[in-house]
Chains A and B, each alone.
Chain A
Amino acid sequence: MSVVGIVLANDRSRPLEFWFKLDELSRVQLDELVAVDVFNPFNPDRPVTVYAVVDDLIDSVEGLAFPGDTELLEQGASYGRRILMAHARVLRFVPDVLRPPRPGAPVRLALGDDLAKALYVDRMRDSALPVGVLRNGQPAYLNYDFLCGVAGGHVNISGVSGVATKTSFATWLLYSVLNARRSDGQYVARNRQDVKAVVFNVKGTDLLFLDKPNARFAEDERAFCREAGLEASSRYELLGLPAGPFERVACRVPPRPGLAGAERLAGEVPAGATATPYAWSLLEFCQKGMLPYLFALDPGSQMIQFVTEDVTERLKRYAAGQEGPHVYLPPGEAAGDWDPLAARGTVEGLEADGRVRVETLDELAQYVSDMLLGEHWGRHHAQGTVQAFIRRLRGALRHVRHLVRGDLPPRELERARLDPLASSDMVHVIDIHDLHSVAQAFVVGVVLRDVFDQREAAARSPGTVYVVLDELNKYAPAQEESPIKETLLDIAERGRSLGVILIGAQQTASEVERRVVSNAAIRVVGRLDMAEAARPEYRFLPSTLQERAGILSPGSMIVHQPDLPVPLLVTFPFPAWATRGSEVARPGSADSEFDDLIPLE
């Protein structure tokens, strides 16, 4: 038993917190886990073990009346007795008898079984999912039941951009879900082969290399472990995880705008990455009612929304039963509504029944505008509203016209299809970083709705779908309403039962819709702005951790989960997958490396 001190007799020993006097040489720092045995009056033969985490340390000199006399101490003209005090916040009682530790009782490091109990790992059993490494080098676990939707679901990550490493943590968590195994060799994630992940890449091109091994991480990990005094060459090893890139990854990038001919569906792929472009057919646009997602962030006034709904419904109706990628639309129902000849300037594409073949979003917009301005469609709406709708439509058009296509041959269209649930790939990275925010919202809105609707329509499917989305403050802001926010609320509130789990992130949780954040069973905090950390959204952090959140270094996160009364501060490993082209390991071919690193299933 490694005793590190004794409980202090300072009138502060309580069931939920206590102080202990720390031996100066004992290797204890903040976040260390400790245990104390307490007399159990209900069963004297079985003491209560109190498990606690050290959340404050005070080094002081007793007997020194004035702090200003510290120099006199150094000079030997005065003296006092040095005392190192540690504050411990109680995590658990085993058995559940809530008694304060006795002053003078020895405090020991929680190791082995003690550690498992302190962190409730004994209760997680087969659901213990590695989430990071504690400061003392021990693995920390999440209860997977609270992640995958069984007992709870959704993760919310807050932190300042750039230093909080939110996306890295979300990716790491995903990696752990896909790779962690129990002691019997089974995957922690149930139905792991059916697990899907939809990851939106909102910044840089980092996530487009998920499937490429990282040439640098092993060295970085070794250096980290050396500095932290960890007895392993990498934190993957400590956590019992393989180290390698993600497998079964599909990276999808938007097509470059303005391309035609043979190159019409080429995307911007950074050097070293492998990606295919994505797009939707014009027919899908009409059939699935995607029009509202052109205004996903700013749907406009209620009157405008009526027009949007009206048009969406009409397009759906007309497109029903057609085969794309283009769409045939009827001529005007009254003269002057729509003159296909005038619109196209040619008879090409004109059907015998007078319907016209529309191949581009611009043509569709033109059609919709003309119809709205004509008598039949327009008579339900005020002219001003119609004008406003058309302005919005035109405004959105230039940002998304390359994403919705009626001009692609079926083979290319199949290649461009974005349907993560139907695909055999496991991880779908959807790059939107270079898109205008209107287009970003369109893509996010359409994909999320599609995933949710598919899951809702199907019977409970076995695998969980993880959706990783940063900038929740943009998509589900605390104040405004929008179609995309509606979808996110659907996921937050009903996704758990449908197996759709949101791993959401934002700089500031206070700016995000409360119901989205409060539905997350697991809250994670990286470096926070001090003022932000003081907001009520972070009440789950004890005050000392709120302060600490302001100075967290990249790679350190505070993880709160329902099972543990106190959040844990963990570090997570450097990515074993590349995050930029220069990191991609390629001795010979990337594929051979890939095979070396990933254990076969």
Chain B
Amino acid sequence: MTLRFRLHPWDPDTLYTVTEFDREAGEGEDPHLDLSFEVPEDGWRPLAPGGTVRRTVRFVDGARRHDAAGTIGDRPCLFVVMGVGSVASRLGERVEPPTPQPAQRFVIVAGRDGGDVAPVTLPQYGVTYVPRFTDAADASLSAYAQTLMLEREADLAEELARAYPDDLVVVDGPLRRSGSHQNVLGYVKTTRRERLPASHHWVLDALQPGQRTPVYLVRAGDRSLGDRLEWVIRPRPPARGVDPRQGLVRVQANSALTPDEARALADWSAATLPAYSADYHHDARAPQQLLIVKDLESDLRRTFGDRELLLGALRGALAA
């Protein structure tokens, strides 16, 4: 049989830069999947939830930018700015824009902290880059910056889940805490390697917006952070000429949930999240990208300041 070319829904530049850092713990390992967590393994089919409750959902996301690259001694360093925030939404009601929080700035230095690196301050803008060190041999500076940001996102998600026990918290990206709060969901936009067995792929292909796969359990591998529950939803009907397998989203939840609790969350996500998904003209990462998360990202970027001005100021500050 002749294979047909199909397109990925994302913009190629986005696909090959953004996802570079979106690695999941345990990725590349052999999958240990328990497909019978919600329904028997041989009973898999797309599930369409009935009516679900309307709940307030808090989306958590981060954005970052490289302000400048440099060296300290013979060590490379990277000046980054990042912001992490959340926005609450209840479908059918206008969103109250979140109160802007100041962005955080770091200078990431390769190697150990020798106690000899001082923060870099730009007094004219009231900005300070705080040193952070990474000695992981294989990690690039920007990957470390990404990790810093994801950690902050995970912290914020847990904080919100505790503060608002009735609300759901959706983190952009995979769950990063093994013991995450039961109301925190991970929203995974990319799947580098399909871990579901080939016998079940037809369920993915048949998924419609508003439907989901049964919930399955992903068991932790050696390097992973812990077990988690997962299910797959389709935010929008696939675009023409696009590989239908590429428009899917995996939603993750704490593995300690009972099947009933997990089912309720899964049903809610399948019924609700498609309403937030970006249309193809909105974003390079449509249809998986959530429009409100994109809004949050650009909102966060507003606090970053003008890159050219900061670069000029850094040159001035470091010239002395």
A positions within 8 Å CB-CB of B: 63, 65-66, 69, 72-81
Contacts and interface: CB of A to CB of B under 8 A. Distances in A.
A72 B97 contact: no
Nearest to B277: A77
A129 B97 CA distance: 49
B196 interface: no
B68 interface: no
Contacts of A72: 291
B147 interface: no
B214 to A, nearest CB: 27
Nearest to B283: A65
Interface stretch (B33-41, B87-95, B237-245): B87-95
Contact of A63 (B93, B276, B299): B299
A69 to B, nearest CB: 8
Nearest to A73: B94
Nearest to B100: A81
Contacts of B94: 73-74, 76, 79
The contact size tier of chain B is: 10 to 19
Interface of B: 87, 89-95, 97, 275-276, 281-282, 291-292, 295, 298-299
Contacts of A65: 282
Contacts, number: 44
B283 to A, nearest CB: 9
Nearest to B93: A76
A21 to B, nearest CB: 15
Contacts of B281: 66
Contact of B298 (A63, A66, A69, A75): A63
A75 B275 contact: yes
A76 B295 contact: no
A74 B275 CA distance: 12
Contacts of B275: 75, 77
Nearest to A64: B295
B285 to A, nearest CB: 14
A63 B87 CA distance: 15
A76 B299 contact: no
Contacts of B299: 63, 81
Contacts of B93: 76
A74 B87 CA distance: 15
Given A73-B95, A78-B291, 15 more contacts: A63-B298, A66-B282, A72-B291, A73-B94, A76-B89, A76-B92, A76-B292, A77-B91, A77-B291, A77-B292, A78-B295, A79-B89, A79-B95, A79-B97, A81-B97
Contact of B87 (A69, A73, A79): A79
B298 A77 contact: no
A65 B95 CA distance: 16
A260 B291 CA distance: 90
Contact of B276 (A66, A73, A77): A77
B295 A75 contact: no
A68 to B, nearest CB: 9
Contacts of A73: 94-95
Contacts of B276: 77
A27 B281 CA distance: 39
Contact of B97 (A66, A69, A80): A80
Which residue, of A69, A73, A76, has the highest number of chain B Cβ atoms within 10 A? A76
